[in-house]
Structure formats: structure tokens, C-alpha cells
A and B are shown apart, each in its own frame.
Chain A
């Protein structure tokens, strides 16, 4: 086997061991074994550099899951910011799309808010390192996707009422990070974004138009978000300028939605009953004529039968004249 790869198995390494001399002569460098895998120092160094470069390029915010509980006069947001594992241990700076009143923000001790003119404009999130609370366990040997950890921050958003038009203002972050917004409340409350926001209604989510239908599932997996059921439609988008003012839409309860359906059903029902009564009255006139015609036909047939049965001539005593 020539051109042996870095992840060759032990058997391959044994086989290659016989060709090792020739290989070393051709490419230069020395070879070694780790856990039965053969490597060349040059390849090992390249892979190590590649992994470090990849890690530093992906270091930062992966996305945020905003879960909002609607109460009488406020929405209580829990925003779970997911950050990539950073090899350098530096805190991650999360810049908010809109400044936040510090009185409405609650956060863990490890988070450091950055205030500008008395408003929170960004948050310094703790680095994602092995052993940190919320970080993946150190036993994770070969992860299928980049390792991440999360930090929860809490924001109270005052609203005028638990239903009607609303601007959702979770603590959204600048950049192209994934954002998932899920809102719930009493009476099966549901948030329906305004069409101007540009989110398309799908079977189980609202997403930007034209994105891959598999996107919600992948984002759920990446951010560790568990949906509450098919009846709930979270919002999936990337934070953009158009959403700085919040996500415009309407909070509707199950009762509101049913009421609309009931009004439509009532109007249709009234129309159907009116049409049925009108049809009945018109048909009754035609039916009377039909029945009269039918009776007339029957009478005529009987008369004709009677006439046919009557004997004609002298025997009957009836004169033909």
C-alpha cells in the first residue's frame, strides 16, 4: 500500500512496515507509532496545525436559543448562548444588536457585561474550556462536530399585554450566528411573526425563505435545542439589521385562533342555511308542479285504461254516434 494515510489501522501499519524503508527513502522524514497507528512527523505536524487553525477560526459564538415565557406584563427570556471551544481560554465577546437596560438583565457570575452610557452593549462570556461548567466532558474523544459550551442569560422584556401585537426583543447578538426564538404562555399562546419580518411559515418552524428544509433540525442539534411538539413553531434566523428593533408579530392564544375559525364557520353556516332554505322554497314550487303533472299523467293513464276496457258497439249498448 502506497501513500499511506494518517489514519491507517494497525494491520495496515504492519503491512506497510515492510515497505517502510522504501517509503522513507522516497519521502524523507522518520516514522513512529501511536496506539498502533503509524504516522510521519511531517504529517502529524500538519494535522496539528490544521486542527489549531480550524479551532481558532471557529472560536466564538455559534448561536443563541431564546426561550420566552409570556406572563401578564412581561416576557421572561432565557437566552442560551452557545460558544465554540476556545483553545486559548480567552473570554468571548458577544455584541448585542440593541443596547439593553441593565436592570432587566440577569446573568451568571462568570459573565461580564460591557456598559456604554449606562446600557449593556455587549457581554464578555466565559471561555469554553475543559472542566468549565456547561462544557463537554473530557471523555469526549472523537466528537462528530466542534465542541461547544453554553451560558444562560436572563432578560425581562416588559410588554403591554399577554396578547396582541408585540415586538419580541430577546438579547440578540450581532453577526451571522444562529438564532432560535421559542415563545410560550398560558392558553397555548403562540407567536406569529409579521410577514414583513421575512420569515416563512413551514410545517414545524418559521425560517427565512429559501433555506434548506433540514435547517431547523441541524440547528436544533447544533445548539442543543429540544422542541416542545409539532404544534409549536419556533423561529430560526440569523441576526440581521432588520431585526434590531425586535421581531414584529402577534401573540395569539388558542382561544383567539378558535374565535377566528368560529366566526368564519358561523358565516359559512349562515350562508349554507340561507341557501338551503331558499332552495327548499324554490324547489317546493317546482315539486308541486311535478307532482301535479305526475297526478295528471296517472289520471290520464287511468282514463285511457278505462276507455280501453269499455266495450264498443251494439253489445255494449253504447252508440258510436
Chain B
């Protein structure tokens, strides 16, 4: 319970109190938050795939994979951006802020998962919009939490100097999310534009037709 309350503190973006312990306790909190992302994402995935048992069960693995991989694979580039931009905060603070943002975002997914499940069981057209909309809300909330925690990490002074690392984290995670969703597709019962990943952005001419009229077969 103690750990859970500290996880929620992390999501609010407040700096951790001294009583939170030393470096090992802080690291444990970050690892616990990353594992919690998987649990929350799995809840949403199960709800989004609840129309068919197979899809729901596969989403228990696929959606956490998308969320955790995107978060973990963003870390190296984000931390490098923090270092190179000489952001006026400690590395552990921006790491806590980022993980807190991810935690907050997936928390939104988890709390909206019952609504998504109910709509998938009762509505043919609204459910996919609600499911996709909930992911956008989660991304927006996660970004806001991350931004707020980052600004708090520098006590509100020179908050603009956090722009480079924060934007690097956010842009890279969204780019990774988009591509991992295409790898993990299908997540929703409907095929969406996200299933094609970045390929959907590229212009594509139709395949040429090969007419066979007015031709002679070889003798």
C-alpha cells in the first residue's frame, strides 16, 4: 500500500519526499511504475478486444508490450537529450517525471477500460471511436503530467530549458507508439489507419492494370 501511494504521488508530479528513502527506493519506485504501466495497459487491451476472447487474450500481452517498449526504448534518447541540453535538473528527476507521465497516461486507459468494454458490448459504431479517443486522452494527460513534473523539477525557474528533453521524450515515444501499434495490430476488432504505421503516410499510386486485349498468343 505504501508503494502504491508513492506511485500515485509520482503521477501527480510532486517531488518525492525525503522519507521516500535513498536511491534504491527511488529506483524501485520507477521500476514499479514501469511494471504498473503493463498492468493498466493490459486492462485497457482486454476491454478493447472484449468482442472476441482471442483478441482480448492476445491484447493482454500486446498492449502492455506496446506501452512498455515505447517507454523503455525512449529512455536512452531522452536521457541523452537531457544531458546534451544541460537541462537544469537532475537525471533522476526527469526520469521520475517521464515515468510519472507514462503512469498517469496508462492510469487514464485503465480507468476508461470499463467504459470501453461496455461500449464494445453494446454499440457497433461508437466503441472504436471511444477506444481510439481514450488513447488520445491518455497521451494528452501523460504529456501534461510529464510537463508539469519537469517544470516542478526545476522549481518553476527556467522551465523553458526543459523544452528540448521533454519534447524529445514526447515525440520519440509517440513515434514508437505509432509503429509498435502497427506491429501489434490487430488490437481493435476494426482495422484502423494506425494498423499501417508510418506506411499510411506515404503516397501510394494504384497498381497498374495489365490489359490483355488485342494481343496475339505465340504460335
CB neighbours of A279 from chain B (8 A):
27, 31
Please determine whether B28 and A284 come into contact, CB atoms closer than 8 angstroms: yes
Contact digits for A90-132, partner B, Cβ 8 Å, 1 yes 0 no:
0000000000001101111100010000001000000000000
Please determine whether A262 and B19 come into contact, CB atoms closer than 8 angstroms: no
Given contacts A229-B203, A229-B204, A258-B182, contact A291 B21 (CB under 8 A): yes
Closest to B200 in A: A231
Please determine whether A228 and B205 come into contact, CB atoms closer than 8 angstroms: yes
Please determine whether A280 and B25 come into contact, CB atoms closer than 8 angstroms: no
CB neighbours of A280 from chain B (8 A):
28, 31-32, 35
A290 within 8 A of B: yes
B212 within 8 A of A: yes
Please determine whether B34 and A276 come into contact, CB atoms closer than 8 angstroms: yes
- Bound form: Cα–Cα A109–B219 in Å: 12
A320 within 8 A of B: no
Please determine whether B22 and A76 come into contact, CB atoms closer than 8 angstroms: no
**Min distance, Cβ B157 to any Cβ of chain A, angstroms:** 29
B72 within 8 A of A: yes
Q: Which of the listed residues A262, A287, A291 has the most CB atoms from chain B within 10 Å of its own CB?
A: A287
**Min distance, Cβ B74 to any Cβ of chain A, angstroms:** 12
Contact digits for B174-199, partner A, Cβ 8 Å, 1 yes 0 no:
00000010111100000000000001
Number of A residues, CB within 8 Å of B: 45
Please determine whether B24 and A286 come into contact, CB atoms closer than 8 angstroms: yes
CB neighbours of B31 from chain A (8 A):
276, 279-280, 283
CB neighbours of B202 from chain A (8 A):
229-231
Tell me the residues in window 114-131 of chain B with beta carbons closer than 8 Å to chain A beta carbons: none
Which residues of A line the B interface, CB within 8 A? 67, 69, 76, 78, 102-103, 105-109, 113, 120, 154, 184, 188, 226-232, 254, 258, 261-262, 265-266, 268-269, 272-273, 276-277, 279-280, 283-284, 286-287, 289-291, 294
Question: Can you give 17 A-B contacts (C-beta < 8 A)?
Answer: A105-B218, A154-B212, A228-B204, A230-B202, A231-B199, A231-B202, A232-B204, A258-B185, A265-B65, A266-B61, A266-B65, A268-B69, A273-B35, A280-B31, A287-B21, A287-B22, A290-B25
Which residues of B line the A interface, CB within 8 A? 19, 21-22, 24-25, 27-28, 31-32, 34-35, 38, 61, 64-65, 68-69, 72, 180, 182-185, 199, 202-208, 210, 212, 214-219
User: 9 nearest interchain CB pairs?
Assistant: A102-B218, A283-B28, A286-B24, A229-B204, A105-B218, A287-B25, A269-B65, A228-B205, A290-B22
